[in-house]
Amino acid sequence: MQVVTTLAELRAARAALTGTFGLVPTMGYLHAGHLSLVRRAQAECAHVGVSIYVNPIQFGPHEDLARYPRDLPRDLALLQDLKVDLVWTPTDAEMYPPRFQTHVTVERVSQPLEGARRPGHLRGVATVVAKLFNAFTPDKAYFGQKDAQQAAVIRQMVADLNFPLEVVVCPTVREPDGLAMSSRNVYLSPTERQAATVLYRALCAAQARFDAGERDATKLRAAMSEVLAAEPLAHVEYVSAADPDTLDELERVETRVLLSLAVRIGATRLIDNFRLGDA
Ligand code: PAF
């Protein structure tokens, strides 16, 4: 496994790898969800690269950039065990040199949900992911379904800007009690960790209604809200039943729906979603 820091080193190492190349972009503090993306990439590509970079421009001024969990030695050991070919750990100066001034804004699909709650977040994501795509020139790039809007934004950017690669969105990996894996779960106290299962329970309640034939999106949102309201530690930012591609809020579900929610448990903001109705 080659671990490089500069863009020049990355380009040289990447040029030496022939055959299909899969990229797994990460912010480090790897968990089973990240490792599932690496394994999927390895199953589909001749070589796999991982970026580890806590991207400052996707954090708002009052968000958790300074305390975002980091453990590079552990991350590298995990990736070494999986026999990843190439890891890029750029510095901020490498990614955003002093006169940096170009950003990627994916307009409509970035506006609701996370976009409304975290201004600039998805612009920061799209910008760094575009830079990672240009640096690694992957044939395929792997993202988790847990960040459903991020995946929709990246798909739209790839289509609009003609990046010659395929975006692969992989299933959310969950703890045994249903909590979606996230590097931010480490912030939760034991009591909050128990309360955090409310996101999964709310999604399951709405899915049960959907499976029973409910297609009124207002009622699906209400099913989630009802479960969330019963958890005193949960402060709801949004519940949504939207079109999975455009993220426009639905009145009625014709075929497919993205049920998603953002909830604060104490000081920790968690998101989760189920995508229903896919063939
Ligand atoms: O999902 C993440 O970890 C980040 O948003 C990403 C895609 C690595 C960009 O910084």
Task: Give the confidence band of 32 by pLDDT, cuts at 50, 70, 90.
Answer: very high
Enter the pTM of the model: 0.98
Domain with CATH 3.40.50.620 in the chain: 2-170
- What confidence tens digit (pLDDT) does each residue in 221-267 have? 999 999 999 999 999 999 999 999 999 999 999 999 999 999 999 99
Q: What is the pLDDT of residue 272?
A: 98
Is residue 55 within 6 Å of ligand 1 at its C-beta? yes
Neighbours of 236 (CB within 10 A): 17
What is the pLDDT averaged over residues 128-136? 99
Contacts of 23 (CB under 8 A, 6+ apart): 41, 48, 49, 50, 51, 132, 133, 136, 138, 140, 141, 142
Q: Active-site residues: which are they?
A: 34
pLDDT, average across residues 46-54: 99
From 35, 52, 65, 129, mutation site for ligand 1 pocket: most ligand atoms within 8 A of C-beta: 129
Q: Which CATH superfamily is domain 2-170 in?
A: HUPs (3.40.50.620)
How is residue 107 written in tokens? 């307009």
Contacts of 200 (CB under 8 A, 6+ apart): 174, 177, 178, 179, 180, 272
Two tokens, residue 98? 């002093």
What's the CA-to-centroid distance between 149 and ligand 1, angstroms? 12
- The mean pLDDT value for 127-154 works out to 98
The tens digit of pLDDT for each residue in 171-219 reads 999 999 999 999 999 999 999 999 999 999 999 999 999 999 999 999 9
Is the pLDDT score of 167 beyond 90?
yes
Is 183-274 a domain of CATH 3.30.70.20? Answer: no
Average pLDDT (161-176) is 98
> Going edge to edge, which strands form the sheet with 257-265?
234-242, 257-265, 268-276
Report whether pLDDT(279) > 90. no
Please, is 61 exposed, middle or buried when counting C-beta atoms within 10 Å of its C-beta (0-12, 13-18, 19+)? Answer: exposed
Distance 188 CA to ligand 1 centre (A): 21
